[in-house]
Structure 1
Amino acid sequence: MKRQLLALAALTVATGAMAQSSSVTIFGVADVSVAHLSTSGKNVSGLANGGNSSSRLGFRGVEELGAGLKASFWLEGGLTVDDGNAAGFKFDRRSTISLSGDFGELRLGRDKTPAYQNLETFHAFGDAGMGAINGHSLISGSAAGTPEGSNPKRVSNSVSYLLPKLGGIYGQATHSFGEQADNSSLSSNTGLRLGYAAGPLNMAAAYGVARGGTAATGLDYKTFNLGASYQLGAFTPMLLIASDRGNAKRVDLYSVGLKMDLGTGELRAAYTMYKDKKQNDADSQRLALGYGYKLSKRTEIYATVAHISNDDKAARKLGSSLSPTPNVGKNLTGYEIGLRHNF
């Protein structure tokens, strides 16, 4: 009887081991465009990276652990296709390890912030190329005491929890540690996102706090945004409202956009206003129009034209990697034609 029980236990363990499986995938995007920009009588032309989607190279893998548990990793770094420069390549876009199951997902490492994901999701051009929303760190991209600005795209040293599938409800909570010896909260970041997606509707709200300043005098930069999209046949209108506040400054963002199936491609349009609530004559308005023609499921040729109008005290630029920062109070116009391939 004892031998039978031992044999049964060994068979159970072996069956569980055989049920486990793992896979590793190499993936990426190669995207480059021919671009031209003009401002104040000056012209800039050349190749720009990521006109439709940021170029990248990554590795991801997953292992089935049994009982519904999965372990996974994701390593992804940015590339510049125009010159092939990979010197100092690092996994700065994402480097995470996760454990997921019916409880949701626990994710550790460097990843996008919850608030930034709304900026990408609810804008017709996302955050790439001439039409990019450029909605992160509206107050400052180098806010004192913060590692990557007042409202960064990504944070390092983070712990995230993602909700499991709950009907159409989705959400994420993230905290990144500042890891400063003299002050544990300095350079930290905390964010929350909660959304609902079902059928044609997708909507989400997000909130984040970046801790800056100094060890002696801390300073919080707070961000809030709300986005929504609704698919109406071939049309998908989009709406996004955001606000960054801190250090006696406040900048609000309002954006409306549209994606429309047209032929074998997609027409994209977006209007965005950046409003400085603490300084007069420092607002900007951006208008972008583009079309992407799908050559296949993985390859697209695209064209985009965009214009940003700056008030007398504003100097915001377009999202292209080639875009210069215009002189204060000067406008900027640009266009690009590019090719994107996913692999």
Structure 2
Amino acid sequence: MKKSLIALAVLAASGAAMAQSSVTLFGIVDTGFAYVDNASGNDSVYGLSTSGNATSRLGFRGVEDLGGGLKAGFWLEGEIFGDDGNSKGFNFQRESTVRLSGNFGEVRLGREQTPSYRKTSSYDLFGQAGIGQFMGWSDWGTNSDFQTRVSTADASNIRASNIVSYYTPNFSGFTGGLGYGFDEQVSGKNGRYVGGFVAYDNGPLSIAVSYDQRELLGSVGPVATAVPFTGSRDTLTVGASYNLNVVKLSTILQQSKYKIDGAGSEKFNAYALGASAPLGAGEVKLQYALYDQKAIDSKAHQISLGYVHNLSKRTALYGTVAYLKNKDDSNLGLAAKNLGSNLTGPGAGENQTGVQLGIRHSF
């Protein structure tokens, strides 16, 4: 009898512990047909690609209730490629963090999207995926008068490794986040990141401002005679949206400045203006983007039209068409992920058109 009571007590205790912890497997598989003209040497590229509407991913997240409003958690997430099954292997470079949260907010340690990018990128109507996406967070350092070849990983400031991040609670619609990514260098500070955002969300209005800086190390000049340089990339972004119910308006204003030590600076401005509206069982969206590459005195215009049709809460069909017009020395290309190995910019001053049709399933 005593043994039975002890066994029941152990089961009850373990059940209580399990009730306080949870682990969730989640993901998205997004695969579709893609076509891009004038992709390489005036040739077209077509076939299957991935992440046309949302980035395909596989992840694990968990949380443990420590009591008193304190919670511990983790998040492991890696990108998957629906078209070829991750031929180069799977990793957790999208996110790998451990977290502690409470009434004070949340602290995260590891690798993740930078706080500055996480909030202001949400104003891109195409969700930073597919050929329609706003491309302001490009690595502009590879497209400049200095012919800069940046060797720092994550030079686009989208993600950072070795980062400590803090996110505030919601104060009557106001939120904020800060992050510091360690360079972990014996000398110098190549790769170090610091940045954050402040935002206000209240009913139909949402607005956010972010700023970040990443220290860079690269080379300047022709390959044969290139010389090393040190410097930084500073990016200021303002994003806003307003929901009128029948239509939602969204905008992004951004400036990225490359400061090359002893050699001045270069600016790249990017702007987006879009509108989305419910249509049937889905949503139609239209977005215009301007990329003013002052460093090379060139511009590019992008217009994107898309429709997402929801078959259920987890499954949707989508279609996107985008047109990119490069002017002068601009050589930007549409982002059709994993569409062969020949997808490049169309050439300086050349134009490019792309189409994507696919299916997205989340779990």
1:187 aligned onto 2:191: yes
Shift of 1:20: 6.6
Alignment of 1:239-318 (within 5 A): 239-246=251-258, 247=260, 248-280=265-297, 282-318=298-334
User: Which of the numbers 206, 212, 218 marks the counterpart of 1:208?
Assistant: 212
Is the 1:118–1:225 contact (alpha carbons within 8 Å) kept by the matching residues of 2? Answer: no
- 1:164 paired with 2:169, answer yes
Aligned AA (1:79): I
* 1: CA distance, partners of 2:87 / 2:77: 13
User: What is the aligned partner in structure 1 of residue 345 from structure 2?
Assistant: 325
Mapping 1:24-103, distance limit 5 Å = 24-39=23-38, 41-85=42-86, 87-103=88-104
User: TM-score w.r.t. structure 2 length?
Assistant: 0.85
Is 1:232 the equivalent of 2:244? yes
Which whole-Å CA distance do the structure 1 matches of 2:134 and 2:348 have between them?
20
Cα distance in structure 1, aligned partners of 2:128 and 2:204: 22
Could you say if the C-alpha distance between residues 59 and 249 of structure 1 is closer, same or farther in structure 2, counting changes exceeding 3 Å? same
Q: Deviations over 1:221-262 (max 9, x none)?
A: 100000001111131100110000013211000110111111
Whether the 8 Å contact between 1:222 and 1:244 is mirrored in structure 2 is yes
The C-alpha deviation readout for 1:191-230, integer Å capped at 9, x for no partner, is: 111001111111100000001137x964121000000011
1:41-85 Cα shifts (integer Å, max 9, x gaps)? 421110011000010000000000000000000000000101112
* CA apart distance, 1:170: 1.0
Q: CA deviation at 1:165?
A: 2.0
1:121 and 2:137 correspond: no
Other-structure match for 1:8: none
Mapped contact 1:255–1:271 kept (Cα < 8 A): yes
The runs of 4+ residues in structure 1 deviating greater than 6 Å are none
- Distance in 2 (CA, whole Å) between partners of 1:217 and 1:336 is 40
What one-letter code is carried by the residue in structure 1 that aligns with 2:24? T
- The whole-number CA distance in structure 2 between the counterparts of 1:158 and 1:188 is 9
Q: CA RMSD in A?
A: 2.0
Report the alpha carbon displacement of residue 139 of structure 1 after superposing the two structures with TM: 2.0
SS of the residue aligned with 1:283?
A: strand
**CA distance, structure 2, for counterparts of residue 19 and residue 169 of structure 1:** 34
AA partner of residue 305 (structure 1): V
Structure 2 unaligned regions, length at least 5 = 1-12, 143-147, 219-227
The residue identity in structure 2 corresponding to 1:82 is D
- State the percentage of identical aligned residues: 39
